[in-house]
Amino acid sequence: MSNSTVKVTHLYNDPKGISYFGDTQIDTALLEFAPPAPAVNVSAPRPAKQYLFLELPPNWYGEPHPAPSRQLMILIRGELEVTVSNNSKKIFKPGDIALAEDISGEGHATRNLSSDPSLLLIVQY
């Protein structure tokens, strides 16, 4: 096993408050994380304030809003459509990761495309 990267969708805004999607990655390196278990790819630690689970009801829609905090969002269950203020849309499926840093300006809108609740893990920093 060699070093790898974790691909993450980045939501951010420009100085005028318009939000966009971008791509970023988090690098990992082969380390002994939990000896005596074999080495695994691990990213550098990053501080976090708190984590929470967020469940969106079936067919839920959130009007455009900035993220309440810089946060890493991991979709666990369901399917979400996120629209940033430049009108780009992205569909998120289970296992997708987004880094929301559009904490000011126009923000983004979120729609649960599932007929069941969608579940996210949010890590705020």
pLDDT of residue 91: 98
- Whose CA is closest to 83, among 9, 1, 7, 19? 19
The pTM score is 0.91
Q: Who's near 49: CB < 8 A, 6+ residues apart?
A: 69, 124, 125
Q: Does domain 5-124 have CATH number 2.60.120.10?
A: yes
Q: Which residues pair with 108 in a beta bridge?
A: 65, 84
Q: What is the mean pLDDT of each run of 10 residues along the chain (125 residues)?
A: 90 96 97 96 96 98 97 98 97 98 97 98 98
pLDDT of residue 2: 79
In the block, tokens 């900035």 appear at 66
